Amino acid sequence: MWFYSRNRHILLLYLFLISGSMLFGREVACFNDGWVFKKGPLSGNSLSLIQDPTLGHWQEVSIPHTWNAVDMQQNSANITEFRNPQSRFYTGDALYRKSFTPDISMKEKRVFLRFEGVGTVAEVYVNNQFSGRHKGAYSAFVTEITRLLSFEGENEIIVKVSNEPRADVIPVNNVLFGVYGGIYRDIQIITTGKVNIAVTDYASPGIYISQENVSRESADACITVKIENKTTAHKEIELVNEIYDSANRLKVKKMKKFNASPQGRQLVTQRLKVESPRLWQGVEDPYLYKSVTQLIVDGEVVDEVVQPVGFRSFEFRQGDGFYLNGKKYPMYGVCRHQDWLDKGSALTTREHDADLALIKEIGATTVRLAHYQQAEYVYSKCDSIGLLVWAEIPFVNEVTTHETENAMQQMKELIRQNYNHPSIFIWGLHNEVYSPFEQTIPLTEMLHDLAKSEDPGRYTVSVSGYNNINATANNNADIQGINHYFGWYGGKISDIEEWAEKIEREYPHHKVIFSEYGGEANIEHQKEDVGEIGDCCGFNRKYNETWGTKFHEIQWGVIARHPYLLASYIWNMFDFATPMSAQGGVYSRNMKGLVTFDRKVKKDPFYWYKANWSREPVLYLTQR
């Protein structure tokens, strides 16, 4: 593995948890095996549909799984056929089924199923009884199945899934990217005692670690634990919080006794001070501690949760840049979509590692995980390798006026599930949501207020595709992101210089991030003289790689001279699927990536950035 060995224990802990482990009083086991699958469409909501002979036979599948791994990325016989998406890729209902016999040791325990990602709407049934529903393809959810289990033999789990676009679930369409259907991330079965750290708090760890007074002299960790007592009587509980360094040496420990009511959820907070902490300094030194939280009843540890801790402070200084622990820090960024050619979104740690290795190789210091919550492993890996993370929800492209509740839910899930990752510095509220503005503006304001209430220690950002800082729907977050593709969707490449100088002059008090910039590059299209205006947009246009190289050479030269742009993000690190578009001779593909969809070819602009960003010596001849 290529991550820093001194932080290795945090990532190994993550792998340990997802593969099956026994913490004190809590068992977390992988639940990926033994599933069968049947694709719809279904004609109703009854569970009797699993016997519907028109649906064909059940087929064995491996989780992670998506039924759109091929059809959302495919070519088409002709452009007319392509314009009918319903004939090309399937969005709709499907069923997953699994039988298992619970161990008798679970009988006096609480039992939960945790799904890390199901696209898009999931209904869970246990032994033909409804257990839970979740709306949203990208965040985890938990359902408790304790009272639905039978210990007399096999139990049947059925998950009904649909990825049909809905006006009340973001994203509401497949325009900017494809929403792959299926159980495409890991499943866990979690067993706890009846006194436990909350599992169903929006699928969060049940523990929130906020940082205060961070310096090289000391740092305070304020740890809030959500505790549940599902017995029938008060329980005297001893709460223990410990922080260990990367060598597993105890740095600080606090204990607190309290009486837990059998009613409601209890919140208990402790403040721990670490003297002379080694700070988390991004890619330069991504040093991680770990927090261990235990509940003790009658001298026995009944539950335990472990979380990463990276002590750091950060600040955007208007017109100057980003400061990490008081030190100016370069924000060389790329955006990342989570899909791969012929795999869709059903990725394993192998694919995530490969992507992050390429992002590290190019010399990036920050990554925008666009446009949705990505795998938990990715955030953990960014913690350990030092990439600063922009995390966001999939409120993109269009507003229907029906998605408010779901957008708020997904924002809360994003924050609570990822609160403790030191790599995350900002929460993204929306991306290029234009009309009607009457809905975009109040919903963005609500998302900002929610994010600041849930986590006042991080920034918020909303993103506009207009190059006017004061455009409608902007400036309702802490920071404004601007997406602009000079020379591709209008003007010429070098227009960026005039634009940058103009916004610096006219909006000196605004904090602005250049959130997307890039140009299409098909490695099969080559031309010596390309000019500054790209051949956009259409299926028969030439998306010359040479034009993409020229674009980035000019654009980065300007960005590097303008610290007013507090950070910048290339769109995109990798080519990705766009099932509604046909461009540059390729169907269903956005080719703005610096690396091809199959990850086999690093395009010429990749080496331009590696030469400018990384500390490695680079020798590469373009237009080879």
**400 contacts: CB under 8 Å, gap ≥ 6:** 167, 168, 172
- Residue 521 is predicted with a pLDDT of 96
Partnered with residue 159 across adjacent β-strands are 96, 124
- Asked whether residue 25 carries a pLDDT value surpassing 90, the answer given is no
Reading the block at residue 492, the tokens are: 């010429």
Give me the numbers of helices (H) and strands (E) for the chain, helices first please.
9, 36
Using CA atoms, how far apart are residues 339 and 347, in angstroms rounded to an integer?
8
Q: What is the percent of the chain with per-residue pLDDT over 70, rounded to a whole number?
A: 92
Q: What 3-state class would DSSP assign to 140? A: coil
Lowest mean pLDDT among 40-49, 214-223, 470-479: 40-49
First to last CA, the chain: 32
374-390 b/e (C-beta count within 10 Å ≥ 16 → b): bbbbbbbbbbbbbbbbb
Using CA atoms, how far apart are residues 239 and 230, in angstroms rounded to an integer?
17
- 451 or 528, which is more confident: 451
For the chain, the average pLDDT equals 92
* Catalytic-residue membership of 376: no
Using CA atoms, how far apart are residues 366 and 368, in angstroms rounded to an integer?
7
**524 contacts: CB under 8 Å, gap ≥ 6:** 585
Partnered with residue 37 across adjacent β-strands are 59, 96
Reading the block at residue 365, the tokens are: 């210091």
SS3 assignment for 184-202: CCCEEEEEECCEEECCCCC
> Do 152 and 107 meet the contact criterion of CB atoms below 8 Å apart?
no
Using CA atoms, how far apart are residues 523 and 416, in angstroms rounded to an integer?
41
Using CA atoms, how far apart are residues 571 and 279, in angstroms rounded to an integer?
30
Using CA atoms, how far apart are residues 495 and 493, in angstroms rounded to an integer?
6
> Do 487 and 493 meet the contact criterion of CB atoms below 8 Å apart?
yes
- Asked whether residue 56 carries a pLDDT value surpassing 70, the answer given is no
Using CA atoms, how far apart are residues 153 and 522, in angstroms rounded to an integer?
56
For residue range 545-598, list pLDDT tens digits in order.
999 999 999 999 999 999 999 999 999 999 999 998 889 999 999 999 999 999
- Residue 470 is predicted with a pLDDT of 86
**48 contacts: CB under 8 Å, gap ≥ 6:** none
SS3 assignment for 75-105: CCCCHHHHCCHHHCCCCCEEEEEEEECCCHH
- Asked whether residue 6 carries a pLDDT value surpassing 80, the answer given is no
Query: Sign of torsion, CA 355 356 359 360?
Result: negative
Please compute the mean of the pLDDT values over residues 71-87 and round it to a whole number: 73
Give me the domains of the chain, ranges plus CATH numbers. Answer: 31-193 (2.60.120.260), 201-309 (2.60.40.10), 314-613 (3.20.20.80)
Write the Ramachandran bin of 344: left for phi over 0, alpha for psi from -120 to 50, otherwise beta.
left
Please compute the mean of the pLDDT values over residues 147-162 and round it to a whole number: 96
Query: Sign of torsion, CA 11 13 16 18?
Result: negative
Q: What is the percent of the chain with per-residue pLDDT over 90, rounded to a whole number?
A: 85
**285 contacts: CB under 8 Å, gap ≥ 6:** 278, 279, 386
Query: What angle do helix axes 495-506 and 545-559 make, rounded to 10 degrees?
Result: 30
> Do 274 and 219 meet the contact criterion of CB atoms below 8 Å apart?
yes
Reading the block at residue 293, the tokens are: 């939280």
- Pairing relationship of beta strands 26-30 and 35-39 according to DSSP bridges: unpaired
Please compute the mean of the pLDDT values over residues 182-186 and round it to a whole number: 98
- Residue 37 is predicted with a pLDDT of 96
Which amino acid is it at 157?
I
Residue whose token pair is 């599992």: 199
Residue whose token pair is 């390798």: 385
- Residue 3 is predicted with a pLDDT of 27
Please compute the mean of the pLDDT values over residues 403-426 and round it to a whole number: 98
pTM (global) more than 0.85: yes
For residue range 358-393, list pLDDT tens digits in order.
999 999 999 999 999 999 999 999 999 999 999 999
**78 contacts: CB under 8 Å, gap ≥ 6:** none
For residue range 488-499, list pLDDT tens digits in order.
999 999 999 999
Count CA atoms within 13 Å of residue 445 on its CB side.
7
Please compute the mean of the pLDDT values over residues 258-287 and round it to a whole number: 96
- Asked whether residue 10 carries a pLDDT value surpassing 90, the answer given is no
Return the closest-CA partner of residue 478 out of 504, 499, 500, 457. 457
Q: What 3-state class would DSSP assign to 40? A: coil
- Residue 81 is predicted with a pLDDT of 67
For residue range 57-77, list pLDDT tens digits in order.
899 999 999 999 999 998 766
Among residues 392, 432, 516, 545, which one is catalytic? 432
* H/E run at residue 504: helix 495-506
> Do 155 and 190 meet the contact criterion of CB atoms below 8 Å apart?
no
For residue range 306-354, list pLDDT tens digits in order.
999 999 999 999 999 999 999 999 999 999 999 999 999 999 999 999 9
